C-alpha cells in the first residue's frame, strides 16, 4: 500500500470518529445547532401555558421538572426558572436555561354598596377590591371606586391592569328599583275644625301615619295648619315617605270696644273700634275703617267681620245696650237672703239707673225699715237698727229717673226676706 493511500485512509477514519462523537459545549455554541425554544414567549400572563422545546437535541435529556422528553408544557403561577441538561455521554453535557416572567392576571372583583336592592335616588358605590396597576371603568374613571345616584338600570364594566401586560375585564349589572311613589287625594277642609280626608291612591304593603293610623286614608279635623307624614310600603327597602301639609287659615273672632260704655241712650253717638283687625275686615255698613261713629238705635245690629282672603269669615255683633227714652223700666228683686253666705245677701236696685234713686222699705205695719241715702247707704242688708229683721214680706216705694235723665218715675212692690 502506498504512502498516500495510508494517509487518505487515516484522514477518513478521523473524520468519521469526529462526526460520531457528540460535540462539546464549545463546539455546540460554535455550530449553534441545539437551542431552547420558548412558545409563545418568556413573558406571560398568569394562567398561560408555555411550551419549552429543545431544538436538535443530541443524547439524553433531563428537565428540572423531571421530564426526559424533547419538550415540556409548564403553567407557572409566578415568575419561574426552567432548565434542561443535554447529556452527550460520558463527561460531555450542556445545560440550557430560561426564566418565565409571569404577570398577574386578576379578574376585577367589584363590590357594590349598598348591597341588595338599590332604590332610585340612592347613592351607589362600585369598588374594585383587587386593583392591579391601572384601573379603567366604562365611565372613563381611573379610580378604584366610582359613585353615582341610582336612576335607571345600568351596566358597568371595569378593566383591571388597563394598559399593563395582562388586562382583564369584569362587568356588573346594577338594578335600580323605583320607590313606591305615593299618590294622594285630598278632600274637604279649608277652615278650622272642618274635616279633611286624605286618601292614598296607590297603597302598597303597610301604611304608617304619624298619627298612628295604618289605613290608606286619614280623616282629620285640624284647627291649625298641620303637617301629616306617612310611609307607604314601610317594610320594604324602597318605601316612600311623604309629608302632607294641610293649610288651615286662622279664624279670628273680632273684638269690639264701645265708647263711652255699653249702655247708650237712643239717639246718642257711640264709638265702635275693632281691636284685632285681621288681613281683611269690614263693618256691616261696608266701611273698612278701624273706628266707627254711629247713632244708637233701638234696632241695633251693627257688626264687624274678620276674614282671611275670603276664607273662614267670623262676625261679631257690637254689644250695645240702647235704652228707650220713652219706655224705660227696671227690674227690682222680689226676694233676697241676708244670711251672710255671700250670695244674694243684699236687696239692691239694678245698676242701670244712672242718677241717684230713693227707695223706702216698710214692714207690714207701715213702719219704715230702710231708706236709701241715709248714712250713705243705697242697698238694704235686711237689718233695722242693726238687728236682723224677721223673715217675711216687706213693701217698698222707689222714685227714680231713667238712665237717659227723663221724667221722674215712681214704682212700688214687695220683697221677701229669707234666711
Tens place of pLDDT for every residue, the chain, 419 residues?
Answer: 443 333 333 333 333 333 333 444 444 443 347 899 999 999 999 889 999 999 988 889 999 999 999 999 999 999 999 999 998 877 788 999 999 999 887 889 999 998 877 888 889 999 999 998 899 999 999 999 999 988 877 889 999 987 888 899 999 988 888 777 788 999 988 888 889 999 999 888 889 999 999 999 999 999 889 999 999 887 777 888 889 999 888 888 999 999 887 678 888 899 999 999 988 899 999 999 999 999 988 887 899 999 866 778 899 998 888 877 776 677 889 999 999 999 999 998 875 555 567 899 999 999 999 998 766 678 899 999 999 999 999 999 998 876 676 677 888 999 999 98
pLDDT number for residue 351 = 59
Beta strand ranges found along 324-407 (DSSP E)? 335-336, 358-362, 368-371, 383-384, 387-388, 392-401
For residues 201 and 198, what is the distance between their CA atoms, to the nearest angstrom?
A: 10
Classified as helix, coil or strand, 203 is coil
The separation between CA 266 and the C-alpha centre of its own chain, rounded to angstroms, equals: 62
Q: Burial code of 266-294, b = ≥16 C-beta within 10 A, e = fewer?
A: beeebebebeebbeebbbeeeeeeeebeb
The C-alpha cell at 350 is: 239694678
Q: What is the CATH number of the domain that holds 316?
A: 2.60.40
91: helix, strand or coil: coil
The pLDDT value given to residue 135: 93
User: Mapping DSSP to helix (H, G, I), strand (E, B) and coil, where does residue 265 land?
Assistant: strand
Domain range for 407: 335-417
pLDDT at 260: 82
> In angstroms, how far is CA 142 from the centroid of its own chain?
36
Peptide bond into 40 cis (omega under 30): yes
Q: Phi and psi (nearest 5°) for 291?
A: -110, 140
The pLDDT of residue 81 is 96
CA dihedral 394, 333, 345, 409 (to 10 degrees): -80
Same domain, 135 and 88: no
Half-sphere exposure of 317 (CA within 13 A, CB side): 6
Q: Are 190 and 246 in contact (CB under 8 A)?
A: no
Q: To which H or E segment does residue 17 belong?
A: helix 3-20
Burial environment of residue 71 by CB neighbours within 10 A (0 to 12, 13 to 18, 19 or more) = middle
My answer on whether 41 and 99 are in the same domain is yes
Torsion angle of C-alpha atoms 387, 390, 394, 399, degrees rounded to 10: 20
CB contact at 8 A, 124 and 118? yes
Domain boundary among 220, 246, 272: 246
pTM of the model as a whole? 0.43
Residue 31 lies in a domain: yes
The answer to whether 106 and 224 have CB atoms below 8 angstroms apart is: no
Residue carrying C-alpha cell 296607590: 202
- The total of structural domains in the chain comes to 5
Contact by Cβ (8 Å): 184, 211: no
Do 208 and 134 lie in one domain? The reply is: no
Position 375 scores a pLDDT of 61
Residue 140: give its domain's CATH number: 2.60.40.10
pLDDT at 353: 57
304 and 349 together in one domain: no
Q: Is 353 found in the same domain as 319?
A: no
- d(CA 369, CA 396) in angstroms, rounded, equals 10
Q: Last residue of some domain: 323, 356, 377?
A: 323
Give percent of the chain with pLDDT exceeding 70.
Answer: 87
Q: What is the pLDDT of residues 63-120, one digit of tens each?
A: 999 999 999 999 999 999 999 999 887 778 899 999 999 988 788 999 999 887 788 8
Q: Confirm whether 136 is domain-assigned.
A: yes
Rg of the chain taking only CA atoms, in angstroms: 59
CA 49 – CA 316 distance, rounded (Å): 100
pLDDT at 182: 84
Nearest residue to 222 (alpha-carbon basis) of 243, 201, 191, 252:
191
pLDDT at 50: 96
Among 127, 154, 177, identify where a domain stops: 177
Q: Kindly state whether residue 92 falls inside one of the protein's structural domains.
A: yes
State residue 3's pLDDT score.
Answer: 39
Three-point CA angle 284, 290, 296, nearest 5°: 55
- Grid coordinates representing 313 are 269669615
β-sheet bridge partners, residue 411: 398
Instruction: Report yes or no on 9 lying in a domain.
Output: no
Residue 10 lies in a domain: no
37 by DSSP, 3-state: which?
A: strand
pLDDT in the model for residue 241: 87
Amino acid at each position: 500500500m502506498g504512502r498516500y493511500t495510508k494517509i487518505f485512509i487515516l484522514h477518513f477514519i478521523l473524520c468519521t470518529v469526529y462526526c460520531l462523537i457528540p460535540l462539546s459545549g464549545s463546539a455546540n455554541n460554535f455550530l449553534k445547532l441545539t437551542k431552547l425554544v420558548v412558545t409563545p414567549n418568556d413573558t406571560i400572563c398568569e394562567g398561560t401555558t408555555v411550551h419549552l422545546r429543545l431544538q436538535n437535541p443530541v443524547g439524553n435529556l433531563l428537565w428540572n421538572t423531571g421530564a426526559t422528553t424533547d419538550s415540556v408544557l409548564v403553567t407557572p403561577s409566578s415568575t419561574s426558572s426552567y432548565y434542561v441538561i443535554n447529556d452527550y455521554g460520558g463527561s460531555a453535557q450542556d445545560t440550557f436555561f430560561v426564566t418565565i416572567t409571569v404577570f398577574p392576571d386578576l379578574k376585577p372583583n367589584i363590590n357594590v354598596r349598598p348591597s341588595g336592592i338599590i332604590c332610585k335616588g340612592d347613592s351607589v358605590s362600585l369598588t374594585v377590591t383587587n386593583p392591579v396597576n391601572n384601573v379603567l371603568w366604562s365611565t372613563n374613571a381611573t379610580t378604584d371606586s366610582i359613585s353615582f345616584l341610582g336612576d335607571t338600570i345600568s351596566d358597568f364594566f371595569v378593566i383591571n391592569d388597563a394598559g399593563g401586560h395582562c388586562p382583564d375585564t369584569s362587568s356588573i349589572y346594577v338594578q335600580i328599583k323605583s320607590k313606591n311613589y305615593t299618590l294622594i287625594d285630598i278632600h274637604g277642609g279649608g277652615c278650622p275644625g272642618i274635616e279633611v280626608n286624605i286618601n292614598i291612591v296607590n297603597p302598597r304593603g303597610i301604611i304608617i301615619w304619624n298619627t298612628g293610623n295604618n289605613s290608606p286614608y286619614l280623616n282629620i279635623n285640624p284647627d291649625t295648619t298641620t303637617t301629616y307624614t306617612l310611609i307607604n310600603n314601610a317594610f320594604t327597602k324602597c318605601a316612600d315617605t311623604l309629608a302632607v301639609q294641610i293649610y288651615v287659615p286662622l279664624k279670628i273672632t273680632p273684638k269690639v270696644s264701645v265708647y263711652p260704655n255699653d249702655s247708650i241712650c237712643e239717639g246718642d253717638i257711640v264709638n265702635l273700634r275693632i281691636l284685632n283687625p285681621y288681613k281683611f275686615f269690614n263693618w256691616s255698613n261696608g266701611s273698612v275703617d278701624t273706628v266707627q261713629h254711629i247713632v244708637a238705635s233701638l234696632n241695633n245690629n251693627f257688626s264687624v267681620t274678620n276674614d282671611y282672603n275670603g276664607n273662614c269669615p267670623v262676625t261679631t255683633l257690637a254689644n250695645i245696650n240702647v235704652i228707650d227714652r220713652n219706655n224705660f223700666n227696671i227690674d227690682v228683686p222680689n226676694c233676697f237672703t241676708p244670711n251672710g253666705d255671700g250670695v244674694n245677701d243684699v236687696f239692691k236696685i239694678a245698676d242701670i239707673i244712672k242718677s241717684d234713686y230713693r227707695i223706702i222699705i216698710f214692714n207690714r205695719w207701715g213702719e219704715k225699715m230702710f231708706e236709701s241715702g241715709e248714712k250713705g247707704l243705697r242697698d238694704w242688708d235686711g237689718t233695722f237698727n242693726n238687728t236682723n229683721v224677721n223673715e217675711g214680706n216687706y213693701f217698698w216705694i222707689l222714685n227714680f229717673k231713667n238712665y237717659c235723665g227723663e221724667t221722674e218715675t215712681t214704682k212700688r212692690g214687695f220683697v221677701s226676706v229669707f234666711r
